[in-house]
Amino acid sequence: MAQNIAVKVDDLTVAYNYKPVLWDIDLEIPEGVLMAIVGPNGAGKSTLIKSILGILPPIAGSVTIYGKPYKKQRSLVAYVPQKGSVDWDFPTTALDVVMMGTYGSLGWIKRPRQKEKKAALEALEKVGMLAFKSRQISQLSGGQQQRIFLARALVQNASIYFMDEPFQGVDATTEIAIINILKELRKAGKTVIVVHHDLQTVPEYFDWVTFLNVKKIATGPVKDIFNDDNLTKTYGINYKVSIQE
Protein backbone atom coordinates (compact mmCIF):
# COMPACT_ATOMS: atom_id res chain seq x y z
CA MET A 1 0.00 0.00 0.00
CA ALA A 2 1.59 3.19 -1.11
CA GLN A 3 -0.56 5.30 1.10
CA ASN A 4 0.65 8.27 3.11
CA ILE A 5 0.72 7.78 6.85
CA ALA A 6 -1.60 10.34 8.39
CA VAL A 7 -0.99 9.57 12.06
CA LYS A 8 2.02 7.78 13.46
CA VAL A 9 2.17 6.83 17.12
CA ASP A 10 5.48 5.62 18.51
CA ASP A 11 5.95 3.76 21.78
CA LEU A 12 3.17 5.76 23.43
CA THR A 13 2.74 5.03 27.15
CA VAL A 14 0.18 6.88 29.27
CA ALA A 15 -0.51 6.54 32.97
CA TYR A 16 -3.18 8.01 35.24
CA ASN A 17 -1.73 8.63 38.70
CA TYR A 18 1.13 6.40 37.71
CA LYS A 19 -1.26 3.63 36.97
CA PRO A 20 -0.56 2.57 33.43
CA VAL A 21 -3.49 2.87 31.03
CA LEU A 22 -1.75 2.53 27.68
CA TRP A 23 1.39 0.55 27.10
CA ASP A 24 3.94 1.03 24.38
CA ILE A 25 1.47 1.67 21.59
CA ASP A 26 2.84 1.71 18.05
CA LEU A 27 0.26 2.68 15.51
CA GLU A 28 0.27 3.83 11.91
CA ILE A 29 -2.96 5.15 10.49
CA PRO A 30 -2.91 5.50 6.71
CA GLU A 31 -4.46 8.52 5.06
CA GLY A 32 -8.06 8.21 3.94
CA VAL A 33 -9.28 5.41 6.21
CA LEU A 34 -12.37 5.38 8.36
CA MET A 35 -11.04 3.65 11.44
CA ALA A 36 -12.74 2.31 14.56
CA ILE A 37 -10.88 1.91 17.85
CA VAL A 38 -12.53 -0.91 19.75
CA GLY A 39 -11.82 -2.56 23.08
CA PRO A 40 -13.46 -3.29 26.43
CA ASN A 41 -14.26 -0.61 29.02
CA GLY A 42 -11.11 0.76 30.57
CA ALA A 43 -9.01 -0.38 27.63
CA GLY A 44 -7.76 3.16 27.11
CA LYS A 45 -9.61 4.02 23.90
CA SER A 46 -10.47 7.58 24.85
CA THR A 47 -7.10 7.94 26.53
CA LEU A 48 -5.40 7.04 23.26
CA ILE A 49 -7.01 9.82 21.29
CA LYS A 50 -6.74 12.27 24.17
CA SER A 51 -3.02 11.72 24.41
CA ILE A 52 -2.60 11.86 20.64
CA LEU A 53 -4.30 15.26 20.84
CA GLY A 54 -2.10 16.43 23.71
CA ILE A 55 -4.94 16.64 26.25
CA LEU A 56 -3.25 13.99 28.41
CA PRO A 57 0.52 14.10 28.56
CA PRO A 58 2.15 10.74 27.82
CA ILE A 59 4.92 9.26 29.96
CA ALA A 60 6.81 8.16 26.93
CA GLY A 61 6.48 8.09 23.19
CA SER A 62 5.73 10.50 20.40
CA VAL A 63 3.00 11.32 17.92
CA THR A 64 3.52 12.64 14.44
CA ILE A 65 0.92 13.92 12.01
CA TYR A 66 2.04 13.63 8.39
CA GLY A 67 5.60 13.23 9.56
CA LYS A 68 5.78 16.31 11.79
CA PRO A 69 5.18 16.65 15.54
CA TYR A 70 1.56 17.13 16.49
CA LYS A 71 2.12 20.60 17.95
CA LYS A 72 3.10 21.92 14.54
CA GLN A 73 0.21 20.21 12.78
CA ARG A 74 -2.68 21.20 15.02
CA SER A 75 -4.56 22.86 12.19
CA LEU A 76 -4.80 19.52 10.39
CA VAL A 77 -6.63 17.85 13.26
CA ALA A 78 -10.22 18.16 14.51
CA TYR A 79 -11.70 16.61 17.64
CA VAL A 80 -15.19 15.60 18.67
CA PRO A 81 -15.19 14.97 22.43
CA GLN A 82 -17.66 12.75 24.23
CA LYS A 83 -21.02 14.44 24.42
CA GLY A 84 -21.12 14.03 28.20
CA SER A 85 -17.87 15.92 28.72
CA VAL A 86 -19.45 19.37 28.69
CA ASP A 87 -22.21 21.19 30.52
CA TRP A 88 -25.12 21.46 28.08
CA ASP A 89 -26.84 23.99 30.30
CA PHE A 90 -24.17 26.50 29.33
CA PRO A 91 -25.80 29.72 28.12
CA THR A 92 -25.06 29.59 24.42
CA THR A 93 -26.68 28.72 21.10
CA ALA A 94 -26.04 25.95 18.59
CA LEU A 95 -24.49 28.37 16.11
CA ASP A 96 -22.20 29.74 18.81
CA VAL A 97 -20.89 26.28 19.64
CA VAL A 98 -20.21 25.52 15.99
CA MET A 99 -18.40 28.85 15.64
CA MET A 100 -15.98 27.65 18.32
CA GLY A 101 -14.54 25.40 15.65
CA THR A 102 -13.10 28.48 13.98
CA TYR A 103 -11.35 29.76 17.12
CA GLY A 104 -8.26 27.66 16.55
CA SER A 105 -7.50 29.16 13.13
CA LEU A 106 -8.28 32.63 14.45
CA GLY A 107 -5.76 32.33 17.27
CA TRP A 108 -5.64 34.54 20.34
CA ILE A 109 -7.80 37.67 20.64
CA LYS A 110 -9.11 37.87 17.04
CA ARG A 111 -12.90 37.66 16.85
CA PRO A 112 -14.88 35.57 14.38
CA ARG A 113 -16.39 37.58 11.51
CA GLN A 114 -18.74 37.03 8.60
CA LYS A 115 -16.46 34.49 6.96
CA GLU A 116 -16.40 32.32 10.08
CA LYS A 117 -20.13 32.65 10.54
CA LYS A 118 -20.72 31.54 6.98
CA ALA A 119 -18.53 28.48 7.49
CA ALA A 120 -20.42 27.64 10.68
CA LEU A 121 -23.79 27.95 8.95
CA GLU A 122 -22.60 25.67 6.16
CA ALA A 123 -21.47 23.07 8.67
CA LEU A 124 -24.83 23.29 10.45
CA GLU A 125 -26.57 22.69 7.15
CA LYS A 126 -24.38 19.67 6.44
CA VAL A 127 -25.46 18.01 9.68
CA GLY A 128 -29.08 18.99 9.08
CA MET A 129 -29.26 21.41 11.99
CA LEU A 130 -29.58 24.76 10.24
CA ALA A 131 -33.13 25.19 11.49
CA PHE A 132 -31.87 24.93 15.07
CA LYS A 133 -29.08 27.48 14.79
CA SER A 134 -30.42 29.90 17.41
CA ARG A 135 -31.67 27.17 19.71
CA GLN A 136 -30.23 27.08 23.23
CA ILE A 137 -28.08 23.97 23.43
CA SER A 138 -29.86 22.51 26.45
CA GLN A 139 -33.06 22.40 24.41
CA LEU A 140 -31.52 20.03 21.86
CA SER A 141 -31.94 16.27 21.99
CA GLY A 142 -28.93 14.03 22.56
CA GLY A 143 -28.68 13.27 18.86
CA GLN A 144 -28.90 16.94 17.96
CA GLN A 145 -26.21 17.82 20.47
CA GLN A 146 -23.95 15.22 18.91
CA ARG A 147 -24.59 16.71 15.47
CA ILE A 148 -23.65 20.15 16.78
CA PHE A 149 -20.36 18.71 18.02
CA LEU A 150 -19.77 17.12 14.64
CA ALA A 151 -20.52 20.41 12.89
CA ARG A 152 -18.02 22.16 15.15
CA ALA A 153 -15.33 19.72 14.03
CA LEU A 154 -16.36 20.07 10.37
CA VAL A 155 -15.84 23.83 10.60
CA GLN A 156 -12.22 23.21 11.48
CA ASN A 157 -11.79 21.93 7.94
CA ALA A 158 -9.15 19.49 9.07
CA SER A 159 -7.55 16.49 7.36
CA ILE A 160 -7.84 14.16 10.33
CA TYR A 161 -10.89 13.80 12.56
CA PHE A 162 -10.83 12.19 16.01
CA MET A 163 -14.20 11.29 17.51
CA ASP A 164 -14.90 9.95 20.97
CA GLU A 165 -18.01 7.72 20.95
CA PRO A 166 -20.08 9.82 18.56
CA PHE A 167 -22.88 7.23 18.51
CA GLN A 168 -23.41 7.09 22.23
CA GLY A 169 -26.94 8.02 23.25
CA VAL A 170 -28.10 9.16 19.82
CA ASP A 171 -31.21 8.12 17.92
CA ALA A 172 -31.07 5.87 14.88
CA THR A 173 -31.60 8.71 12.39
CA THR A 174 -28.71 10.66 13.80
CA GLU A 175 -26.49 7.58 13.75
CA ILE A 176 -27.16 7.14 10.04
CA ALA A 177 -26.72 10.84 9.37
CA ILE A 178 -23.39 10.86 11.20
CA ILE A 179 -22.03 7.78 9.50
CA ASN A 180 -22.99 9.20 6.11
CA ILE A 181 -21.04 12.35 6.86
CA LEU A 182 -18.06 10.29 7.99
CA LYS A 183 -18.17 8.29 4.78
CA GLU A 184 -18.33 11.53 2.82
CA LEU A 185 -15.26 12.77 4.65
CA ARG A 186 -13.42 9.60 3.73
CA LYS A 187 -14.45 10.06 0.11
CA ALA A 188 -12.90 13.52 0.24
CA GLY A 189 -9.62 11.92 1.29
CA LYS A 190 -9.86 12.76 4.99
CA THR A 191 -8.85 10.36 7.74
CA VAL A 192 -11.44 9.62 10.43
CA ILE A 193 -10.67 7.87 13.73
CA VAL A 194 -13.61 6.89 15.89
CA VAL A 195 -13.74 5.38 19.37
CA HIS A 196 -16.52 2.87 18.92
CA HIS A 197 -18.55 0.66 21.19
CA ASP A 198 -20.90 -1.34 19.03
CA LEU A 199 -18.98 -4.26 17.55
CA GLN A 200 -21.92 -5.32 15.38
CA THR A 201 -21.69 -2.22 13.22
CA VAL A 202 -17.92 -2.23 12.75
CA PRO A 203 -17.87 -4.10 9.39
CA GLU A 204 -20.73 -2.00 8.06
CA TYR A 205 -19.38 1.42 9.05
CA PHE A 206 -15.63 1.18 8.98
CA ASP A 207 -12.87 -0.04 6.68
CA TRP A 208 -10.04 0.03 9.20
CA VAL A 209 -9.96 -1.12 12.82
CA THR A 210 -7.64 -1.06 15.83
CA PHE A 211 -8.11 -3.49 18.68
CA LEU A 212 -6.96 -2.01 21.95
CA ASN A 213 -6.71 -3.32 25.46
CA VAL A 214 -3.99 -1.41 27.26
CA LYS A 215 -1.69 -2.80 24.57
CA LYS A 216 -2.41 -2.62 20.90
CA ILE A 217 -3.76 -6.03 19.89
CA ALA A 218 -4.07 -5.57 16.17
CA THR A 219 -4.61 -2.90 13.56
CA GLY A 220 -5.48 -3.12 9.89
CA PRO A 221 -8.27 -3.42 7.33
CA VAL A 222 -11.55 -4.64 8.77
CA LYS A 223 -11.88 -7.39 6.18
CA ASP A 224 -8.49 -8.87 7.16
CA ILE A 225 -8.38 -8.60 10.92
CA PHE A 226 -11.91 -8.26 12.25
CA ASN A 227 -12.24 -11.86 13.36
CA ASP A 228 -13.01 -13.95 16.41
CA ASP A 229 -9.34 -14.49 17.09
CA ASN A 230 -8.60 -10.78 17.59
CA LEU A 231 -11.86 -10.21 19.39
CA THR A 232 -11.02 -12.93 21.88
CA LYS A 233 -7.55 -11.50 22.37
CA THR A 234 -9.06 -8.10 23.05
CA TYR A 235 -12.09 -8.95 25.12
CA GLY A 236 -10.81 -12.05 26.89
CA ILE A 237 -12.80 -15.25 27.19
CA ASN A 238 -13.97 -16.65 23.89
CA TYR A 239 -15.62 -13.69 22.38
CA LYS A 240 -17.74 -14.47 19.36
CA VAL A 241 -19.62 -12.02 17.25
CA SER A 242 -22.04 -13.08 14.64
CA ILE A 243 -21.09 -10.93 11.73
CA GLN A 244 -23.93 -10.60 9.34
CA GLU A 245 -22.71 -11.29 5.86
Partner 1 sequence: MSLNEYFSLVFSDYTLRTITLGTAILGAVCGMLGSFAVLRKQSLLGDAISHAALPGIAIAFLITGAKDSNTLLLGALVSGLIGTFWIKGITSKTHLKSDTALGLILSLFFGFGMLLLTYIQKQPNANQAGLDKYLFGQAATLVESDVWLMAVVTGLCLFVILLFWKEFKILLFDPDYTKTLGFNTRIIDILITSFIVLAIVLGLQTVGVVLMSAMLLAPAAAARQWTNSLSTMVILACIFGALSGVFGTAISASQNNLSTGPVIVLVASVFVLFSFIFSPSRGVLFRQLRFIKNRRDLEQHKTLAFMYHIAKTHDNISHPHTIKILNNFQGFTRGTLQKLVKKNYVELDGNMWSLTDDGFKKASNLYNQQNNE
Partner 2 sequence: MNSAQIEIQLIASLVAIACAIPGTFLVLRKMAMISDAISHAILPGLVVGFFITQDLNSPLLILLAALTGLITVILVEQIQKTGLVKEDTAIGLVFPALFSIGVLLISKNANDVHLDIDAVLLGELAFAPFDRLFIGGTDVGPKSLWVIGTILTITIGLLIAFFKELKVSTFDAGLSASLGFSPVVIHYGLMSVASVTTVGAFDAVGAILVVALMIAPAATAYLLTTDLKRMLLLSIFFGLFSAIAGYWMAHALDASIAGSITTILGLLFLMVYLFAPSNGIIAVLYKEKQQRIEVSLLTFLLHLKNHSEKRERHVNHLREHINWQKVRAKTVLELALKNNMIVINNDIVSLTKKGDKFTTQAIDYIITNEDAQIEGMKDDFFLFRG
Residue 142 within binding range of partner 2, rule CB under 8 A? no
CA distances from 147 to 52, 181, 201 (A): 23, 10, 19
Q: How many Å apart are CA 81 and CA 168, to the nearest integer?
A: 11
CA atoms within 13 A on the CB side of 154: 26
5-16, strands of its sheet edge to edge: 19-30, 5-16, 60-65, 68-69
Given 1, 91, 242, 245, the residue binding partner 1 (CB under 8 A): 91
Residue 13 within binding range of partner 1, rule CB under 8 A? no
Residue 54 within binding range of partner 2, rule CB under 8 A? no
Stretch in the footprint of partner 2 (CB under 8 A) among 18-26, 76-84, 93-101, 164-172: 18-26
Site for partner 1 in 31-70 (CB under 8 A): 50, 53-55
If the CB atoms of residues 26 and 204 are measured against partner 2, the closer one turns out to be 26
Residue 244 within binding range of partner 1, rule CB under 8 A? no
Q: Which of 212, 112, 207, 209 is nearest to 156 (CA)?
A: 112
Site mask, partner 1, residues 93-132, x = CB under 8 A? x---x--x--xx-xxxxxxx--------------------
Question: Which of partner 1, partner 2, none does residue 59 bind to, with CB < 5 to 8 Å depending on kind?
Answer: partner 2
Given 5, 8, 10, 128, the residue binding partner 2 (CB under 8 A): 10
- For the beta carbon of residue 94, count every other beta carbon within 10 angstroms: 26
Write down the least CB distance from residue 151 to partner 1, Å.
Answer: 13
For helices 142-155 and 172-187, angle between their N-to-C axes, nearest 10 degrees:
20
Question: Which of partner 2, partner 1, none does residue 97 bind to, with CB < 5 to 8 Å depending on kind?
Answer: partner 1
Containing H/E element for 27?
A: strand 19-30
